[in-house]
Amino acid sequence: MTNIRGVDPTNSPRPIGPSLITQAHQANPTSQLADDTVEISLQARIASKLAEIPPIRAGLVARVKAEIQAGTYETPEKLDVAIENLLKEL
């Protein structure tokens, strides 16, 4: 049978702290300490953008639909504003 020994207190696990990292760097001074990085997944970026979209204004949508169906939505004034905005973008 195998002899299983208990935990050796002189060789117990120790947390990695600044002193151990410094000691490791001093032992090999040419090594670079790695910078921490964070990578955001595509799904998280999309979810973040979706959260920025304002809520749908149901009342406004219903009013515009009714105006379109009634033929009163497109007015010369609205077309002039749309043309002006388009020209500003160009």
Vertex 24: Cα angle to 21 and 27 (nearest 5):
150
The total of other beta-carbon atoms located within 10 Å of residue 73's CB is: 13
Residues 6+ apart with CB under 8 A from 25: 31, 33
Residue predicted with more confidence, 16 or 75: 75
Locate 29 and state its tokens: 């001074």
The stretches of the chain forming alpha helices (DSSP H) are 18-27, 42-52, 58-70, 76-89
Residue 37 is predicted with a pLDDT of 85
Whole-structure pTM value:
0.38
Q: Specify whether the CB–CB gap between 31 and 25 falls below 8 A.
A: yes
Q: What is the pLDDT of residues 2-54, one digit of tens each?
A: 566 655 556 666 665 566 556 655 666 665 666 788 889 999 999 999 999 99
Mean of the pLDDT values across residues 70-82?
92
Phi, psi of 37 (to 5 degrees): -130, 155
The total of other beta-carbon atoms located within 10 Å of residue 23's CB is: 9
